[in-house]
Structure 1
Amino acid sequence: MQAKILLLIALFAFATFSGCGWWDSMRGINKDAIPQGPEPKKITSRPTVSGGIVLPVNGELITIDEVITPLMEDLKPLAEKGDYLDYRRKARPVIEQALDNRVSNIVLYQKAKKEAREGIDEQLDKAADNEIRQFVAGFDGNYAQAEQAIQKMGMNWKTFRDYQKRILLVQGYLHEEFKDKRPITYSDMRNHYEKIKDQQFFSPGAIQFRLIDIQPLKTTPTDPNLSRLESARLLAKDIVAQLNSGGDFGLMAKKYSQEKTRAELGGLWSPVSSGSLAKPYDILETEAAKLQSGQIAGPIEADDHIFIMKLESRREAVYEPFDAVQHKVETSLKFQRRRDAIDALTKKLQTQADIGDQATFVEHCIEKSFNQIEG
């Protein structure tokens, strides 16, 4: 439910959090706010699709093209294998989500229209005209480019204008319907902070280091009586001795490190966050935890590598403190409450709605989109 009314929630949140009135809230739609779509692919056994399939929602019809046209750019990569069954499996959740979006928007619009006051059509016309002007302005006034954008959404200027009116009407209805008068207490915000802090207010720790990477399989023995591994171990010990005697780590890395890409940078790695190093380099994070900035560790043997590392810097993992983000937490909590209320309303309206066979309709959407992609 959360994703299906993303646009409506975003518009509603803008209106509510800015404290605007009913009609002042009907602003701010731009080309990036318009719902986009999913992905398609190829076929081994191509199905035959009969035309004219629609899905009724309380008497309003959804066509296949309305669902799949905005999704075609996203669906095309799903058909790369040319296997219909593979495409069907991948495309189904994308198309189902897009259909769910449309059904949700329809039932919300029908509810909003039922509750609308007299004379609202004229206000909606004016507001929609304003939104279209802003939409075109988003393309620097280039009418042709704006028209291409709405065509990619599967619309023309008339249907796009109607679409704006529907959004504005629903936005206004939600703004009036969900005026949450429950006070937000300090305890509410603290609890919400604990729920969202890992996603929104956490900065992971990171380390930056220089590394000399000696790889025994690439080491040429200088003594015929020594194996490659023994020669690599001797080389590593000699490098450490030179470093302990004041040798420059960056110059030594350029000379001795056998991982040439970073060797050219004096062995310097970009900062890496905790847990992000793959084997065998993950051992470096463990060793770095024992070091202070500027200290050297090694030789460190791991798989087919012998490492010598110098810790350049360390940034500890940290949460932004509650007091510093309290306003953001309050805003997030308001948004969460409204989203939950809208989700509940949409679910209720869908349950009460007279909706056709969605499963069969989705199958037709999958088949037609696949056939269009395959040409």
Structure 2
Amino acid sequence: MRHRTVRTRLLPGLLLAAVAAGGLGRAEILEEIVAKVNNSIITRSQFEERLAVYQQQLSRKYSGDELGLKTQAAADDLLRNMIMETLLVQRADVILEMEKVRKNLLADFKKQQKIESDEELDRLLKEQKMTRQDLLDTLVRLSVPQEIVNYEVRRKISVSDKEIKKYYDEHRRDFVKPERVVFREIVILFEDATKEEARARAEAARRALDSGTDFGEVAGRESEVSSKERGGLVGPFTHGELRPEVESQVFSLQPGQLAGPIESSRAFHIVRLETKEGEEVTPLSEAQDSITEKIRDSRFKESLETYLKGLWQENYIYVFPKFGSSEWKPTDTLEVEPGSGS
């Protein structure tokens, strides 16, 4: 894994959002320590700057004692998450070539932000009172932990051919593409007072089609729904997606055949079938990859929890009592912070 490439998943326009939650651009001063993770520390300002994002969101929904309880729960979850992030980044230092990782992350970030040169990047960083190292640290924090989880956990969840076949047999209906149709329509709407007038227009439209007038031409002139702009073309549809009155007619047609006027609750419909595709079964050979991922997903949470607990137990972690208990159990998920864009 020494040459594994990690790409940033930051979205365009995220420079300000990424640094706002990252505690960047702080002066180097002595400050209170929240937790120690091996040879790394989590400072109070780092913790509180990230917590502020949660507090803003919570304050829009809650107030009083409830806001206090929700904020404390968010603080506990955030601190656990920050510890796990630190452990995973430390793990990355062991198994990744982090200089290459940082170089790739920075290159991707510049591309996404449409930053043309290092000089432009430095100018933007200066405006935000940031250093390049501040930015790199945030990019690593947002990208690397999930890559380590994918490599160390998800990739190692083995799925046998026998298990894949068993899943396919037990979920065969999931791999059946239902019968589907594409057709053209003319829809003439009515209210109670205009029903007979609408019926007459629909019957006249059908006679025009029977005499050879182009369907798209008649749809553009007579239809009263948006499909008229496409010559009445709609679909594909499967069973259950159309009005019952229309569905029963459309699925009984062969390509090129007409039906209607068909009366529904508030319209008359004329339809011409364009294409009909029968039910298709996806073969096991084509479904194998998706089945493997489904089985992996079903096992992932338990495997991740075991992995994170192992990291927690194998490393030195101390949370200062003022901020929480050093006996905390690790979280089994890596939460995406509000505004992180991950």
TM-score range, shorter chain: 0.5 to 0.7
Q: Which residue of 1 aligns with 2:48?
A: 64
d(CA) in 1 for partners of 2:218 and 2:173? Answer: 40
Deviations 1:268-297 (A, max 9, x none): 3354455445xxx56423321221111111
Contact 2:35–2:42 (CA under 8 A) maintained in structure 1: yes
Contact 1:296–1:311 (CA under 8 A) maintained in structure 2: yes
Contact 2:157–2:296 (CA under 8 A) maintained in structure 1: no
d(CA) in 2 for partners of 1:107 and 1:87? Answer: 30
Residue 193 (structure 1) shift: 4.7
Residue 217 (structure 1) shift: 3.7
Identity, % of aligned positions: 18
Deviations 1:136-195 (A, max 9, x none): 5635653366569989x997532343456666588669856888485x422212245568
- The residue correspondences of 1:88-107 to structure 2 (distance < 5 A) are 100=77, 103-104=80-81, 106-107=83-84
- The residue correspondences of 1:148-297 to structure 2 (distance < 5 A) are 156-163=131-138, 175=151, 180=156, 184-193=159-168, 206-217=180-191, 228-257=194-223, 259=224, 261-269=226-234, 271-272=236-237, 275-277=240-242, 281=243, 283-297=245-259
Task: State the Cα RMSD in Å.
Answer: 5.5
Residue aligned with 2:10, SS: helix
Deviations 1:86-114 (A, max 9, x none): 8999xx99x9889857733523633775x
Change (3 A) 1:349 1:142: same
Q: Give yes or no for the alignment of 1:126 onto 2:88.
A: no
d(CA) in 1 for partners of 2:220 and 2:35? Answer: 69
Contact 2:179–2:279 (CA under 8 A) maintained in structure 1: yes
Change (3 A) 1:191 1:350: farther
Mean Cα displacement is larger for which, 140-149 or 104-113? 140-149
Contact 1:147–1:157 (CA under 8 A) maintained in structure 2: yes
Residue 339 (structure 1) shift: 5.7
Mean Cα displacement is larger for which, 348-357 or 267-276? 348-357
Change (3 A) 1:24 1:233: same
Deviations 1:197-253 (A, max 9, x none): 888x675654322222222349xxxxxxxx632333334334334434444333332
Mean Cα displacement is larger for which, 301-310 or 103-112? 103-112
Residue aligned with 2:272, SS: strand
Contact 2:190–2:266 (CA under 8 A) maintained in structure 1: yes
Q: Which residue of 2 aligns with 1:28?
A: 6
- The residue correspondences of 1:39-78 to structure 2 (distance < 5 A) are 60-61=42-43, 63-67=47-51
Contact 1:205–1:314 (CA under 8 A) maintained in structure 2: yes
d(CA) in 2 for partners of 1:99 and 1:333? Answer: 32
- The answer for unaligned runs of 5 or more in structure 2 is 19-30, 326-337
d(CA) in 1 for partners of 2:88 and 2:231? Answer: 66
Q: Give yes or no for the alignment of 1:341 onto 2:303.
A: yes
TM-score by length of 2: 0.59
Residue 322 (structure 1) shift: 1.4
d(CA) in 2 for partners of 1:207 and 1:232? Answer: 26
TM-score by length of 1: 0.55
Q: Give yes or no for the alignment of 1:142 onto 2:104.
A: no
